[in-house]
């Protein structure tokens, strides 16, 4: 299980609250606490390092606080005293710390970066939320997507592979050793902008589909016991 998968249920609850902001702050706090504990257990059971779990959790809680405080909800003022970032990480400036931590993130911690990128894709803005010029935030999303798409050679994933590689081996006779493709064969070469333009919307849609799939099933499981046949 990827690290991102461990937080889907928690993210689904946050999105569900955003769509239907009901309940009091104490109840919401307890609900999210349970989901956080579940996410931590899932990460540990999947064998992820505690440091990676906590780093990913920070990003998710920063998103959660931002969404809750931006929602038209009677308990919004009281939530200032129940901030998840304060209770779990002892800070109140997650809007700034989010980007500081992301900048310091090691390139090898791809799983954590996926969670950060998902939070950005779901609308987290933090300190850039009041900036009319969104270029800086867009650049951050683009650069992190490029890091996620890079292979071990620092190139966009799949960019260096031959198109239809099976076609080159089709003409080989039985027992004939496979020949390496000659250098003159054409390869697909896409700019980072083209990769972003094609893959960013697709990646966001896939992630949102997964989250809404969880939300739908949670709603169905809640409603079904109330239906009498």
Pick the CATH number of 4-161+187-226 from 3.30.565.10, 3.40.50.300, 1.25.40.590, 1.10.1200.10: 1.25.40.590
Q: How is residue 9 written in tokens?
A: 């249920």
CB 156 within 8 A of CB 150: yes
Give the C-alpha separation, 31 to 58, whole Å: 17
Give the C-alpha separation, 229 to 1, whole Å: 38
Task: Please state, rounded to an integer, the average pLDDT across all residues of the chain.
Answer: 79
- Give how far Cα 223 sits from Cα of 84, 125, 216, 218, Å: 29, 34, 11, 9
Residue 134 confidence (pLDDT) = 84
pLDDT at 14 over 60: yes
pLDDT at 158 over 60: no
Give the residue with greater pLDDT, 87 vs 192: 87
Q: Is the pTM of this model over 0.75?
A: no
Residue 170 confidence (pLDDT) = 43
pLDDT at 159 over 80: no
pLDDT at 69 over 70: yes
- 10-14, 131-135, 162-166, 208-212: range with lowest mean pLDDT: 162-166
- Give how far Cα 53 sits from Cα of 7, 47, 204, Å: 9, 10, 22
pLDDT band of residue 131 (cuts 50, 70, 90) is confident
Q: What percent of the chain has pLDDT over 90?
A: 60
What is the average pLDDT across 175-198? 51
């Amino acid at each position: 299980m990827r690290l991102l998968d461990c937080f889907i249920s928690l993210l689904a609850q946050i999105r569900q609250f955003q769509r239907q902001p009901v309940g009091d702050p104490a109840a919401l706090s307890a609900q999210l606490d349970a989901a956080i504990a579940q996410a931590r257990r899932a990460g540990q059971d999947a064998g992820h390092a505690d440091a990676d779990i906590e780093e990913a959790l920070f990003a998710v809680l920063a998103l959660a606080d931002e969404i809750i405080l931006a929602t038209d909800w009677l308990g919004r003022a009281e939530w200032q005293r129940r901030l998840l970032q304060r209770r779990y990480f002892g800070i109140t400036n997650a809007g700034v710390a989010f980007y500081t931590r992301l900048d310091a993130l090691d390139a090898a911690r791809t799983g954590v970066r996926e969670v950060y990128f998902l939070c950005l894709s779901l609308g987290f803005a933090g300190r850039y939320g009041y900036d009319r010029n969104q270029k800086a935030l867009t650049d951050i999303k683009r650069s992190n997507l490029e890091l996620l798409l890079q292979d071990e050679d620092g190139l966009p994933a799949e960019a260096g592979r031959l198109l239809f590689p099976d076609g080159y081996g089709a003409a080989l006779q039985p027992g004939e050793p496979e020949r390496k493709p000659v250098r003159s064969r054409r390869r697909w070469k896409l700019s980072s902008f083209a990769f972003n333009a094609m893959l960013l919307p697709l990646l966001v849609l896939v992630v949102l589909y997964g989250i809404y799939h969880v939300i739908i099933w949670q709603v169905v499981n809640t409603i079904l016991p109330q239906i009498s046949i």
